[in-house]
């Protein structure tokens, strides 16, 4: 006979499509749903449907938004002359958690990757260029990997001629890490990027 009755098999199958959830975890989640109250299960189901219905892209920065401008673009206290370019909406959350950035964002939704057939037109790059009229500095905070670096270079080449400062987030050893375990590329960048004490 089948391992699970149909409604459970179906739920295990749906859960196992989630990232990082294997068959075993999916079964654990499914049995958890069976055990919780109907209200709690319904809350989860409604939150899933709700997020699909209500989350859209901000027409200015392309971060996730509930329709119309996102809270950051709509905030007059944020410095509109400073734009931080990131690859993914999650990077906006990460940046906001630092509390160090008070400008606006621009979310590219990807990086230029010839290997995967993604060119400049496949990310929100034209949209970035079209909003730079009153901007004095663009901080490129794409990922510190090969594609992120290439995308940063590409953006710099486009924007510098417009008379706008283009900066890159610093590479270096992570705070709280152990120097002896730092890879040589990172450590090399940390030396080159050293700052006066």
* Rg, the chain, Cα only: 22
Longest CA–CA separation in the chain, Å: 71
**Does the protein bind a copy of itself through residue 80 (CB under 8 A)?**
no
**Does the protein bind a copy of itself through residue 179 (CB under 8 A)?**
no
Piece of 18-26, 128-136, 139-147, 164-172 that binds a copy of itself (CB under 8 A): 18-26
**Does the protein bind a copy of itself through residue 158 (CB under 8 A)?**
no
Nearer to a copy of itself, 5 or 197 (CB): 5
Structural contact between residues 154 and 110, judged by C-beta atoms closer than 8 angstroms: no
Helix or strand holding residue 106 (H, E) = strand 103-107
**Does the protein bind a copy of itself through residue 89 (CB under 8 A)?**
yes
What minimum distance in Å lies between the beta carbon of 94 and a copy of itself? 10
CA distances from 140 to 6, 13, 24 (A): 49, 40, 40
**Does the protein bind a copy of itself through residue 18 (CB under 8 A)?**
yes
Using CB under 8 A as the binding rule, the residues of this chain from 28 to 57 that contact a copy of itself are 28-34, 38, 40-52, 54-55
- Total residues contacting a copy of itself by CB under 8 A comes to 54
Alpha carbons 82 and 154: distance in angstroms, whole number: 19
Nearer to a copy of itself, 16 or 167 (CB): 16
**Does the protein bind a copy of itself through residue 174 (CB under 8 A)?**
no
**Does the protein bind a copy of itself through residue 81 (CB under 8 A)?**
no
What minimum distance in Å lies between the beta carbon of 66 and a copy of itself? 5
Piece of 5-13, 115-123, 154-162, 179-187 that binds a copy of itself (CB under 8 A): 5-13
Residue with tokens 């206290």: 77
Nearer to a copy of itself, 64 or 158 (CB): 64
For residue 65, the cross-strand partners are 56
Alpha carbons 85 and 111: distance in angstroms, whole number: 11
Alpha carbons 104 and 196: distance in angstroms, whole number: 29
Query: For 161, left (φ over 0), alpha (ψ -120 to 50), or beta?
Result: alpha
């Amino acid at each position: 006979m089948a391992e699970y009755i149909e409604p459970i098999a179906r739920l295990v199958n749906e859960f196992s499509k989630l990232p990082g959830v294997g068959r075993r975890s999916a079964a654990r989640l499914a049995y958890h749903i069976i055990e919780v109250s109907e209200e709690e299960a319904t809350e989860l189901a409604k939150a899933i449907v709700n997020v699909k219905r209500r989350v859209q892209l901000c027409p200015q920065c392309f971060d996730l938004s509930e329709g119309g401008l996102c809270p950051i673009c709509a905030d007059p206290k944020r410095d509109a002359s400073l734009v931080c370019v990131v690859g993914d909406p999650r990077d906006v959350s990460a940046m906001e958690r630092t509390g160090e950035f008070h400008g606006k964002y621009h979310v590219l939704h990807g990086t230029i990757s010839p290997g995967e057939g993604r060119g400049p037109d496949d990310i929100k790059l034209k949209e970035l260029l079209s909003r730079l009229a009153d901007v004095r500095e663009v901080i490129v905070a794409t990922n510190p990997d090969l594609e992120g670096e290439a995308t940063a270079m590409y953006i710099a080449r486009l924007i510098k001629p417009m008379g706008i400062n283009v900066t890159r987030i610093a590479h270096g050893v992570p705070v709280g890490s152990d120097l002896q375990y730092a890879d040589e590329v990172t450590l090399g960048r940390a030396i080159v990027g050293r700052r006066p004490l």
